Structure 1
Amino acid sequence: MNTTTSVLAALALAALAHLPARADDHGRAIVLPPAYVQECGACHAPYPPGLLPNESWQRLMANLPTHFGTDASLDAPTQKALSTWLTATAGSGKRARVAPPEDRITRGDWFIREHREVPKAAWTRASIKSAANCGACHDGAAQGMYDEDSVHIPR
């Protein structure tokens, strides 16, 4: 990554960190901590914490060295701060009533139900890669917007 790209990426992450775009289980907007956007958003969409129950976030944060086959380790203060925030803002509503298999958001019942119309072959397209790549189809995923009316499934 060149210097210009790095600067633009840092500015984009800083801007995202101040958006109260994601809603909790009760429809209230929440602000994503900059460390969450920076650390977790570096590899995937910084998922709304309400998509998983407290127990899932605890397991995920306790196993960062083997996070879905990747070492996502954090320094101790950052890990503690993010763990505290994630468990405090974890889901408790219908989406997060039960932890999905392997704590994977994409294996949760609500996720499967919401994406039932997406052809199975779409998930393996080079432009999408996997169900975890929310931004491939949801233009506003980075801002926590997953409105059905703004979905564009790439070819």
Structure 2
Amino acid sequence: MAAMTLLASPLHAEEEERGERSRGARVPTLPQYQAECSACHVAFPAGGLPAASWARLMQNLPQHFGTDASLDPATTRQISQWLQANAASGRRAQDTPPEDRITRTQWFVREHHHEISSTTWQRAAIGKPSNCAACHTGAPQGRFSEHDVRIPR
């Protein structure tokens, strides 16, 4: 479940600081979402994508970025409802990235690509921009603070 695993709110720290996030503090991660999605990758925060992107991703689990991430209907429904309820809000809700990839959202590009060279992404310990846990030490727990970034050599 590669792009699914969005744990909820560290992506929203910048918005929270400006008072733009109406939901307030971190949204507790749905246990089924954490279990299913983090089986393959970090559970990305639900607020990292708009509701429409999550809907498309959940509808296409048999072809989830080249992997069959199919789930039983009840689990799919439960995760889908949670993602819809906790999807991006405000300006981020208008940002529908190419291929519904978090790494292609305006926010991600602004936060990462001006600071990180293309050669850094290619390091064996990182591999690709969606490998959040390579640099964000708290990513498995849903924490993406800049204070916890350790870029591997």
Q: Is the 8 A contact 1:60 1:67 kept in 2?
A: yes
Match of 2:54 in 1: 57
Paired AA for residue 9 in structure 2: R
Match of 2:130 in 1: 132
> Comparing 87-96 with 108-117, which one deviates more in the overlay?
87-96
Q: Is the 8 A contact 2:8 2:46 kept in 1?
A: no
Listed as ranges, the gaps of 5+ residues in structure 2 are 1-6, 13-20
Match of 2:117 in 1: 119
Aligned pair count?
Answer: 136
RMSD (Å), alpha carbons: 1.6
Listed as ranges, the gaps of 5+ residues in structure 1 are 1-19
Is 1:80 paired with 2:92?
A: no
Match of 1:141 in 2: 139
Q: Is the 8 A contact 1:21 1:143 kept in 2?
A: no
Rounded to whole Å, the distance in 2 between the matches of 1:109 and 1:79 is 27
Change (3 A) 1:89 1:21: closer
Match of 1:22 in 2: 9
TM-score by length of 2: 0.83
Change (3 A) 1:78 1:21: closer
Q: Between Structure 1 and Structure 2, whose CA radius of gyration is higher?
A: 1
Q: Which one has more relative contact order, counting CA pairs under 8 Å at least 6 apart?
A: 2
Helix, strand or coil: the match of 1:87?
helix
